[in-house]
A and B are shown apart, each in its own frame.
Chain A
Amino acid sequence: MLKESTHIQQSKLAEYCRNGIMPKDLLGVTAENLHHYRRLVFNIALDTLETAYPITHSFLDKEVWDKLNLEYFSEHKCQTPQVWRMPLEFYDHCVKKDIQSQLNLPFLNDLLFFEWLELDVHTMDDIAYPAYTEKGDWMNDIIAINPEHRLVKFSYPVHLFAPTEMTDKTAGDYFLLIYREKESGNVQFMDVSILYAYIFEQINNGVLLKDVLVEANTLFQINDITLLKEHALNFIKDLKQRNFVLGFLKN
Chain B
Amino acid sequence: MDLKKHIGIGFRKDFSEELLESDILKPAFIELAPENWIGMGGYWKKQLAKAAEKFPITCHGLSLSIGSPDELDYEFINKIKKFMKEYNVKIYSEHLSYAKCDNAHLYDLLPIPFREDAVKHIAKRIKEVQDILEMPLAIENVSYYTPVAAEMDEATFISSIVNESGCNLLLDVNNVYVNSFNHKYNARDFINNLPLDKVSYIHMAGHEQISDTVIIDTHGQAVIDPVYDLFEYTTHLLKPVPVLLERDFNIPELEELQTEITRMENIVAKTWNKKPAIA
> A residues within 8 Å of B by Cβ?
1-3, 5-7, 9-11, 13-15, 17-18, 26-31, 33-34, 36-37, 40-41, 44-45, 48, 76-84, 86, 122-127, 148, 180, 184-186
Contact = CB atoms under 8 A, between A and B. Distances in A.
Given A11-B102, A79-B105, A34 B43 contact: no
B148 A29 contact: yes
Given A11-B69, A28-B149, A84-B36, A36 B216 contact: yes
A10 to B, nearest CB: 5
Nearest to A125: B41
B182 A33 contact: yes
A36 B41 contact: no
Interface string B96-118: 00101111111110111101011
B185 interface: no
Contact of B40 (A41, A76, A123): A123
B46 interface: yes
A27 B149 CA distance: 5
Chain A to chain B: the 7 pairs with minimum beta-carbon distance, closest first? A185-B43, A14-B101, A77-B104, A81-B63, A126-B41, A185-B42, A30-B146
Contact of A2 (B117, B146, B150, B214): B117
Contacts of A1: 117, 120-121, 124
A1 B67 CA distance: 13
15 contacts: A2-B118, A6-B117, A11-B69, A11-B102, A13-B148, A29-B148, A37-B145, A41-B106, A76-B104, A77-B103, A79-B103, A82-B35, A82-B39, A83-B105, A122-B42
Contacts of B108: 17, 37, 40-41, 44
B149 A6 contact: yes
Most chain A Cβ neighbours within 10 Å, of B44, B105, B216: B105
Contacts of B69: 2, 6-7, 10-11
B274 to A, nearest CB: 41
Contacts of B174: none
Interface string B120-144: 1100100000000000000000000
Contacts of B124: 1
B107 A86 contact: yes
Contacts of A79: 103, 105
B223 to A, nearest CB: 21
A44 B35 CA distance: 15
A213 to B, nearest CB: 33
B45 interface: yes
Interface in B70-122: 73, 76, 98, 100-108, 110-113, 115, 117-118, 120-121
A34 B146 contact: yes
Contacts of A125: 39-41, 45
Given A77-B105, A124-B42, 11 more contacts: A2-B118, A6-B118, A6-B121, A10-B101, A10-B112, A14-B101, A14-B106, A40-B216, A41-B110, A77-B104, A148-B42
A38 to B, nearest CB: 10
Nearest to B37: A82
A11 B103 CA distance: 10
Contacts of A148: 41-42
Interface string B18-56: 000000000000000001101111111110000000000
Contacts of B43: 122, 184-186
B148 A27 contact: yes
Contact of B100 (A27, A29, A31, A81): A81
Nearest to A17: B106
B235 interface: no
Interface centre among B35, B45, B102, B107 (most CB of A within 10 A): B107
Given A9-B148, A10-B68, A123-B40, A41 B103 contact: no
Nearest to B100: A81
A44 B150 CA distance: 26
Contacts of B117: 1-3, 6
B40 A28 contact: no
